[in-house]
Amino acid sequence: MNAIDYEHIFLHAPVGMCISENRVIQSCNEALARMFGYTRAELTGTSFKILYPTLDEFLRTGDRIIPIMNAKGRYSDERIMRRANQELFWCHVTGHALKPNEPLGPGIWTFEDVSEKRPVTAELTPREREIAALLVEGKTSKVIARQIDLSPRTVEMHRAKLMRKFDAATSSELVHKLVGVQL
C-alpha cells in the first residue's frame, strides 16, 4: 500500500487553501495563488491584507473573526476580496484554528471564488461591502449594528444605499441580488 502524499493533495486541491499564522500566509496551494492572481512564492510570507480591498476591511474582519474563533474554533463567511489585478470578487472563506486559545494563530483556511454565481456589479464603499456580507448571512440591521459597532439607523442608511445601487425594492430582493439569484 502506498503512503498518502498529503503535501501533493494540498498543493493540487481544487479549492484555494493556505496555512497561516497571525494572518500571514505560511504556505498556500496552486488554486489559491491562481484565484488571487499571484504565484505561490509571492503569497508565502505575505499578510492576508493584500487580499482585501482596503486595510480597514482587513482590520475589521480580523476583529470580527476573533470572538467567533474563540467560541467555535472555526469561522466562515462570504466577503468581497481583491485579486492582484485589483478586480473585486465574492469569496467564501472558511478557517479553522489549530490552537483553540489562539484564534488568529496557526490555522487552515479555504477560499472559494463564488463570483460566477455572485458577480460584483456595483461600486460599493468598504462599509457597504461589510454590511452586504452580513446581510447575505441573514443578519438583521440591529444584529449588524451590534456586531460592527454602529447605530441601527446608520446600518439602515447603508442598507438603503445598497438597495438603490442594486435597484432593489425590498430587503429580500437586495439579498437575492447580492447572492446572484435572478428573480
Greatest Cα pair distance in the chain: 63
Inter-residue contact 170 to 160 (CB < 8 Å) = no
Domains of the chain: 6-117 (3.30.450.20), 126-179 (1.10.10.10)
Which pLDDT value is given to residue 14?
Answer: 94
CA distance 104 to 70: 9
pLDDT confidence of 41, banded at 50, 70, 90? very high
Instruction: Give residue 183's pLDDT.
Output: 45
How many Cα atoms are found within 13 Å in the side-chain-facing hemisphere of 108?
A: 6
- pLDDT tens by residue, 137-172: 788 889 888 888 889 899 988 888 888 888 888 888
Using CA atoms, how far apart are residues 148 and 136, in angstroms rounded to an integer? 15
pLDDT single digits (tens) 69-102: 988 889 998 888 999 999 999 899 999 999 988 9
Indicate the pTM of the whole model: 0.73
Closest CA to 48 of 75, 81, 88: 81
